[in-house]
């Protein structure tokens, strides 16, 4: 997990890539075939037989969400700063 001072868009993208790659490995390993993102947890619960893999799947899901929200907030703050610079 990145520390507060490491939260840059570049670092966040790197972490999201890492998370995505690990998630893809689990999706392929267990043939997770949910038809929507809303069903993925239910499908994962029924198909992932190794409890450690299931816990890791949930961790990766949470990390991805946290990093996604952090990137969104960072992008908004960059846009806001750029808008303020234009006004001055």
Note down the domain range covering 53: 9-87
H/E segment holding residue 86: helix 51-87
Residue 4 belongs to a domain: no
Residue with the larger pLDDT of the pair 36 and 18: 18
Residue 63 belongs to a domain: yes
- Confidence band for 88, pLDDT divided at 50, 70 and 90: low
d(CA 69, CA 74): 9
Model pTM score:
0.82
Which letter does DSSP use for residue 36 in this model?
A: S
Residue 46 belongs to a domain: yes
Total domains present in the chain = 1
Res. 87: pLDDT tops 70 = no
Residue 3 belongs to a domain: no
3-state SS assignment for residue 12? helix
């Amino acid at each position: 997990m990145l520390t507060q001072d490491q939260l840059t868009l570049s670092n966040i993208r790197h972490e999201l890539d890492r998370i995505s790659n690990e998630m893809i490995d689990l999706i392929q390993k267990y043939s997770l075939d949910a038809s929507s993102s809303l069903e993925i947890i239910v499908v994962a619960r029924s198909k992932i037989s190794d409890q450690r893999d299931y816990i890791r799947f949930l961790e990766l899901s949470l990390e991805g969400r946290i990093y996604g929200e952090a990137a969104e907030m960072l992008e908004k703050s960059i846009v806001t700063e750029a808008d303020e610079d234009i006004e001055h």
